[in-house]
């Protein structure tokens, strides 16, 4: 068993790679990271990152300055100068929703090439979200073919899925609920020993097969998404009832310890870089192995329809949306991140543009990403007040703190016609409905 700090390498400097690499390096582990995107490598070596994540800038700056974190454009260099390699490349969806393993295979290829010239045992850890069987049947097999080395004898393999949440990624990485590690005894012992050095107090840990570890990640995401789609379905019932409110219903069921209060927040739907692609990948995988998954299908269906509630409400309040000025408050898929992958804002904006509306948008961090998609089809505001100025309807899509602070008077004094749709249930319905034309997801009609 190793007692010297192992050196770590990374393949992939996206949200997971950069956060994990910076956290390891900040505790004195030597970390070398490779990415096919040279601009990310160069930026990291300047002590910077392109993503926004609370506390990440400080960690990266500190680790690079003190020589613990370095990026490289040479995949051989990072493997040969480390004992453990984490694969943190993206696993996007193909057109049909199935998982695209292109980046994982490329990374395994490069690791295989490097391992050809390495004589000591090396551990490869698959942190990317991959379907059951991928670590052993794709990553291991590819590395074996390319390197001519034998899995488990010359190199080890673990599945170690990541559960960090964007917006609190550093905190989640440093203080996780649990660690899931799958693989052979030698490989999982090695990785566990590294984590014992990294964490002062080891989190709850499950050591299991690689297949179980891989499936835990999908089951986890599917369950959380199902909980949100469930409360969104209940929200639709509330909307048809006088004096009903999904917030109270959610509180009522959340107090049941068997259910719990988390992930019962109704809204205009979920998006992001993980749930949509992971649920679709699991659905396709289940189809391939001939397993019926009606709950996954329903979870996805509810979510596809959910953003339309905002459009229905806008039409209810304004009638025809053609040439009406509509403000979108919040663009990122959730607060405290600049990530707009599969963001609900994009679906709502597209629908409003189809209806001929004039759309003004604002987000504290995600303006650039949205500008790259929509270009001059939208008006880009400089802050929240600028966004709602002279508008006829405002839709709150992402619950950033600064939007929660907006008072009814801000809408009354700035909008042409004060119609507000609360897509994330942040405003007090009693207060806001008494002063504005107000609708909210899961809020029953008022007499």
Ligand X SMILES: NC(=O)c1ccc[n+]([C@@H]2O[C@H](COP(=O)([O-])OP(=O)(O)OC[C@H]3O[C@@H](n4cnc5c(N)ncnc54)[C@H](O)[C@@H]3O)[C@@H](O)[C@H]2O)c1
**Which are the catalytic amino acids?**
274
Closer residue to ligand X (CB): 14 or 183: 14
Q: How far is CA 17 from CA 38, 143, 203, in A?
A: 15, 20, 20
- Burial of residue 119 (number of CB atoms within 10 Å: 0-12, 13-18, 19+): exposed
Which of 15, 438 has the CB closer to ligand X? 15
Tell the smallest beta-carbon distance from residue 232 to ligand X (Å).
21
**Alpha carbons 53 and 170: distance in angstroms, whole number:** 8
Q: Between 294-305 and 210-239, two packed helices, what is the crossing angle to 10 degrees? A: 50
3-state DSSP assignment of residue 323: coil
Closest to ligand X by CB, 95 or 376: 95
Please state the closest distance from residue 105 (CB atom) to ligand X, in A.
8
In angstroms, the Cα distances linking 43 to 72, 88, 90 are 11, 18, 19
Contact criterion met (CB below 8 Å) for 444 and 240: yes
Residue among 159 and 345 whose Cβ is closer to ligand X: 159
For ligand X, the closer CB: 90 or 156: 90
| Chain center to CA of 282 | 17
Q: Where are the alpha helices (DSSP H) in 199-293?
A: 210-239, 246-254, 275-288
For ligand X, which residue has the nearest CB?
14
In whole angstroms, the minimum distance from the beta carbon of 126 to ligand X comes to 9
Contact residues for ligand X, defined by CB under 6 A: 11-17, 34-37, 40, 88-91, 103, 106-107, 110, 128-129, 162, 164, 166, 273-274
Tell me the closest approach of the beta carbon of residue 37 to ligand X, in angstroms: 4
Helices and strands per DSSP (H, E), number in the chain: 20, 14
> What's the Cα-to-Cα distance from 378 to each of 37, 313, 359, 392, rounded to whole Å?
29, 21, 5, 16
Yes or no: say if 300 and 284 are a contact pair by the CB < 8 Å rule. no
Judged by beta carbon, residue 77 or residue 355, the one nearer ligand X is: 77
Quote the least distance from Cβ 182 to ligand X, whole Å. 15
């Amino acid at each position: 068993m190793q007692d010297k700090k192992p050196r770590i390498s990374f393949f992939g400097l996206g949200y997971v790679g950069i956060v994990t690499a910076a956290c390891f390096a900040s505790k004195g582990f030597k970390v070398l990271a490779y990415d096919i995107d040279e601009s990310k490598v160069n930026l990291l070596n300047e002590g910077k990152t392109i993503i926004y994540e609370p506390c990440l800038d400080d960690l990266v700056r500190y680790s690079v300055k003190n020589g613990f974190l370095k990026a490289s454009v040479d995949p051989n260099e990072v493997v040969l100068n480390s004992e453990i390699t984490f694969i943190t490349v993206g696993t996007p969806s193909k057109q049909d929703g199935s998982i695209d393993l292109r980046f994982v295979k490329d990374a395994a290829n490069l690791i295989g090439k490097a391992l050809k010239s390495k004589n000591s045992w090396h551990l490869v850890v698959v942190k990317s979200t991959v379907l059951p069987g991928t670590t052993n049947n794709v990553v291991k097999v590819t590395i074996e073919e390319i390197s001519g080395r034998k899995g488990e004898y010359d190199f080890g393999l673990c599945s170690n899925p990541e559960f960090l949440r964007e917006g609190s990624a550093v905190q989640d990485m440093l203080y996780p609920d649990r660690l899931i590690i799958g693989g052979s005894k030698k490989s999982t012992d090695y990785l566990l020993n590294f984590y014992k050095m990294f964490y002062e107090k080891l989190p709850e840990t499950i050591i299991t097969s690689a297949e179980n570890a891989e499936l835990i990640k999908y089951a986890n995401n599917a369950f959380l998404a199902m909980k949100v789609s469930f409360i969104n379905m209940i929200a639709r019932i509330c909307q048809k009832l006088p004096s009903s409110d999904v917030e109270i219903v959610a509180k009522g069921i959340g107090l049941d310890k068997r259910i719990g209060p988390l992930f019962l927040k109704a809204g205009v739907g979920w998006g992001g870089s993980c749930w949509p692609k992971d649920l679709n990948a699991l659905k396709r995988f289940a189809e391939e192995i001939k397993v019926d998954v009606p709950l996954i299908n329903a979870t996805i269906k509810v979510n596809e329809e959910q953003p339309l509630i905002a459009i229905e409400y806008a039409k209810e309040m304004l009638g025809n949306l053609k040439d009406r000025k509509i403000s979108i408050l919040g663009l990122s898929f959730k607060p405290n991140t600049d990530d707009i992958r599969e963001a609900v804002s994009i679906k709502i904006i597209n629908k409003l543009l189809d209806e001929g509306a004039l759309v003004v948008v604002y987000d504290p961090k995600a303006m650039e990403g949205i500008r790259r998609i929509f270009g001059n089809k939208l008006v880009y505001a400089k802050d929240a007040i600028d966004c709602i100025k002279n508008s006829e309807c405002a839709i709150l899509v992402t619950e950033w703190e600064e939007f929660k602070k907006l008072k009814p008077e801000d809408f009354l004094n700035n909008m042409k016609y004060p119609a507000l749709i609360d897509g994330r249930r942040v405003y007090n319905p009693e207060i806001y409905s008494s002063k504005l034309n107000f609708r909210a997801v899961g809020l029953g009609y008022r007499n």
